[in-house]
Structure 1
Amino acid sequence: MGFAFAGFKKYVRYSAVAFSSLLITAPIALHAANDWVAPPAEVPKLYTITENISAERIYSDIETLVNFGTRHTLSDTKSKSQGIGAARRWIFEEFEAISKQCGDCLEVKYVSDFVEGEKRIPNKTEVVSVIAIQKGTVDPNRVIMMSGDIDSRVTDAMNFQSLSPGANDNASGVAGTLEAARVLTDYQFPGTIIYAALAGEEQGLFGGKIVAQYAKDQRWDVVGILNNDMISNIAGIDGVIDNTTVRVFSEGTRAVETPEEANLRRFTGGEVDSPSRNLARYVKTLGDQYLTNLNVMMVYRLDRFRRGGHHRPFNEAGFPGVRIMETHEHYDRQHQDLRTEDGRVYGDTIDGVDADYAAKLTALNAITLAGIAGAPPVPHRVDITGAVSPSTNLSWNLPEPSVASNLAGYKVHWRLTTEPEWTHSRFVGNVGEFELKNIVIDNYFFGVSAVAKDGSETPVVFPGPAGQFY
């Protein structure tokens, strides 16, 4: 008990500075909050972005990737037409072609490292991913990333020679990433967007680990990673055909949470308010607003039961990240040798692809990228006080003006502790603190988001270390 309250007292002491400042300046802050003009409630270009995503282009890209025969991490790297080497060179060239259309607005590069001595990569192998960077005009160090996986496999994870089309898993994710780049490079954004084709996923998530480390080495402020893994199948092994639902998986507590932070969380909450979880809520909010015939299902789990995906290495590096994917999987079309047994067809071939569905999920990614890249910096060091008080006080650090020229102000949010989504919000202007009068801290969860002058908004940040994005 002593240790628990020591952590709690430490947090209260940290909060006291902001709170004491709030007590002194609250009348000014509240007065300033009455002088603002609220930003727009919608961002019209997000509707346009959804309309410009092309199912035909996505299908064509999936077809091209399928035609490389296999994209297994250990497959041929020399051939011009077969294997993972040919596939990654084609992806690189596609990003360069997109860049040429926007006046060289993308910086395209390979990010790689050597892996050996692993169960699925026993011999020294270069794992090579492709990234395309659309640099922000105001705050280029702030990054939102979309990814798909280059590689494919059959039943035997070590079989790098057999035909392995990987149409849905995961040519669809790469095709969606390329298409998002085609559409979003028609625009400029304050923050940076990175489009990534990651390698080595089937062999142990190595491409993600390498790119996550690269992001740390570059000291990027990664707001989130949108991992797209299987976004084109609508017919499930459960017999359900569903082209209107998408799942978004997110971790509940931060993978890098320290024991002290975990202990603090016991007393302040945050078990369902990690940055990744609030990123998932953000994806759902935009999907509900800007897309039709698509229901976003938030799944409160890191990934499917005891399975993994390429957002996980980013989570383990301390970055927010979610997995976006189809709702009803068909296991006969995943990790299977191409064959027919007793009239049952196995294999991940292009006839299992629904391009219109892939386009909807790509559009969901695109508006999320545009929304976050178009927003101001995510609120930093959000703090909260109000124990044994009739009101709740929130405070946060204001960013340097040089990286927040599009900032209109901030919203404070609250919801009942049993609600899955944010239900109440109030725009409070360009202030660093706000008092929610007669809203008792014990009864709700709270958060803060930043809003741009055009209405673009960040995900909500839960107070304290449990919810911090950076």
Structure 2
Amino acid sequence: MQRTIVMLASVLTMPVMAADKIGDEQALHSIASQVSAARIEQDVRKLVSFGTRHTLSDTESDSRGIGAARRWIKSEFDKISAQCGGCLQVYFQSATIQGEKRIPNPVEVVSVIAVQKGLTDPSRYVVMSGDIDSRVSDVMDASSDAPGANDNASGLAGVLETARVLSQHKFHGSVVYAALAGEEQGLFGGKIMAEQAVKDGWRVKAVLNNDMIGNIAGINGVINNTTARLFSEGTRVVETPEQAHKRRFTGGEVDSPSRNLARYIDKIADSYIPNLDTMLVYRLDRFGRGGHHRPFNDAGFPAIRIMETNEHYDRQHQDLRSENGIVYGDTLDGVNFAYAAKLTALNAVSLASMAWAPSPPAKVEIKGAVQPSTTLSWAPAANTERDLVKGYKIYWRYTDQPQWQFSRYVGKVNSFTLENVVIDNYFFGVASVAENGLESPVVFPGAAGSFGD
């Protein structure tokens, strides 16, 4: 796709789909159009107004510091819930952290979580996250002004805006909007949430971590508002030695559930988000760096990072200052709100599509060694989803290709043989298809590609 600089204003006047209808492709187009750059700008400006949102900053003030910021975020989620008849469960999620390099003394790390429960499969979750906290050059400086306009008020504003849009709809699976704390001090909000999700038995099928989604002017001189990056790990970090041994002979190095989640969102961008080309980056995160999706990967959940393509390092983790004619600091003038809205729309449509679609197939297996044909099989849909599932679609691609190339809808069966398609020459996967035509992410066979039961 040709990459050009095109500024698009958000459409603010599209009709909202009736909340009692279950979505389809047209509903996804409508959701994309409902995301408002103006509302995102308002939220970013409000978050910046707290002066600093450093994890170790003031928690008592009503106007400055991390405490004031998180209370405002909760109040916004509460307002959104009130407008949809109490459709969100909004709560603080916290733990006391101490003895860490960046949190040496006891500090309560407090995130704000809003859960929109699904109608038919409420234990299945898709999550969108953004970070509350901000910082300057010294990661331990909790008092200096740290606006954090792009890093990461932009991502957090995207979470709030997505909640506003999607709360007007009902879904089969549950949708979670997470404002996570403690990212700059060690990814603690994500660790706390991931650990709790495991304890509570959440079947997390996707985590979309949004960290810096508002900058279009890179330090490399490139100005571009038509691309975004999707970072995803290649193999599951929780893989056992036995699973790794099997993967060596069957493949799967580039087909973890996180990687196929990224492919799914790349396809969503092509289908529903005008003038946005997503770049699949085959790495957990930027070179040697990290983000709040990693704790979810560590817990075995599919999780990726969505962010701008061109970073400007003078505007990240910097004291507010001017030196040698260069202005440093993460301020409002570094955020392009129309671009942030575009990436927010990508999240909103992706979450809606997955929550309206069935769960990804479980227990996908494959056989066909030393045979002319390839057979795939998978478990029947759970009782809660049998009426939702119309059937299944098999995908395959050449082993050197980044995106699925070929597909065949095979109906409501639990195994299918692709005649004269040799297993050695392709990678394969299976997706669930709903009655409304929406699909789950593709599942690569075996433990390497499993999204969980």
TM range (shorter): over 0.9
The reply to whether residue 384 of structure 1 matches residue 366 of structure 2 is: yes
Q: 2: distance between equivalents of 1:50 and 1:177?
A: 14
1:429 aligned to 397, 411, 426, which one? 411
Q: 2: distance between equivalents of 1:95 and 1:106?
A: 8
CA distances 1:113-135 after superposition (whole Å, capped 9, x unpaired): 11100000000111011110000
Q: 2: distance between equivalents of 1:405 and 1:187?
A: 20
SS at match of 2:153: helix
> Does the 8 A contact of 2:392 with 2:413 survive in 1?
yes
Q: 2: distance between equivalents of 1:104 and 1:194?
A: 14
Which residue of structure 1 lines up, in the alignment, with residue 198 of structure 2?
216
The reply to whether residue 130 of structure 1 matches residue 119 of structure 2 is: no
The amino acid of 2:140's aligned partner reads M
Which residue of structure 2 lines up, in the alignment, with residue 22 of structure 1?
none
Q: 2: distance between equivalents of 1:192 and 1:257?
A: 27
SS at match of 1:232: coil
Matches within 5 A, 1:289-438: 289-438=271-420
Which residue of structure 2 lines up, in the alignment, with residue 106 of structure 1?
88
SS at match of 1:409: strand
What is the count of residue pairs matched by the alignment?
430
CA distances 1:338-383 after superposition (whole Å, capped 9, x unpaired): 0011111000000111000000000000011001101112100100
* Deviation (angstroms), 1:43: 1.1
2:224 aligned to 242, 250, 256, which one? 242
1:55 aligned to 24, 37, 44, which one? 37
2:60 aligned to 78, 82, 86, which one? 78
Q: 1: distance between equivalents of 2:366 and 2:35?
A: 41
| Unmatched 5+ stretches in structure 1 | 1-40
Per mean C-alpha deviation after superposition, the further-off stretch among 338-347 and 403-412 is 403-412
* Deviation (angstroms), 1:154: 0.2
Q: 1: distance between equivalents of 2:88 and 2:311?
A: 34
2:262 aligned to 263, 271, 280, which one? 280
1:121 aligned to 88, 94, 103, which one? 103
The amino acid of 2:247's aligned partner reads R
The reply to whether residue 446 of structure 1 matches residue 423 of structure 2 is: no
> Does the 8 A contact of 1:138 with 1:191 survive in 2?
yes
* Deviation (angstroms), 1:42: 6.6
The reply to whether residue 465 of structure 1 matches residue 444 of structure 2 is: no
SS at match of 2:449: coil
CA distances 1:52-99 after superposition (whole Å, capped 9, x unpaired): 000000000000000000000000011111000000000000001000
Q: 1: distance between equivalents of 2:94 and 2:366?
A: 42
2:136 aligned to 131, 154, 169, which one? 154
Which structure has the larger Rg over C-alpha atoms? 1
Q: Alpha carbons of 1:85 and 1:404: their partners in 2 closer, same or farther (altered >3 Å)?
A: farther
> Does the 8 A contact of 2:227 with 2:279 survive in 1?
yes
The reply to whether residue 87 of structure 1 matches residue 69 of structure 2 is: yes
The reply to whether residue 170 of structure 1 matches residue 152 of structure 2 is: yes
Task: Report the identity percentage.
Answer: 64
Q: 1: distance between equivalents of 2:399 and 2:334?
A: 41
Q: 1: distance between equivalents of 2:380 and 2:59?
A: 49
Higher helix share: 1
CA distances 1:198-247 after superposition (whole Å, capped 9, x unpaired): 00000000000000001101101100100000000000000000100000
> Does the 8 A contact of 2:381 with 2:389 survive in 1?
no
Q: 2: distance between equivalents of 1:404 and 1:242?
A: 44
* Deviation (angstroms), 1:401: 2.5
> Does the 8 A contact of 1:138 with 1:405 survive in 2?
no
SS at match of 2:110: strand
> Does the 8 A contact of 1:109 with 1:132 survive in 2?
yes
Q: Alpha carbons of 1:98 and 1:231: their partners in 2 closer, same or farther (altered >3 Å)?
A: same
| Unmatched 5+ stretches in structure 2 | 1-22
The amino acid of 1:281's aligned partner reads R
> Does the 8 A contact of 1:143 with 1:220 survive in 2?
yes
SS at match of 1:466: helix
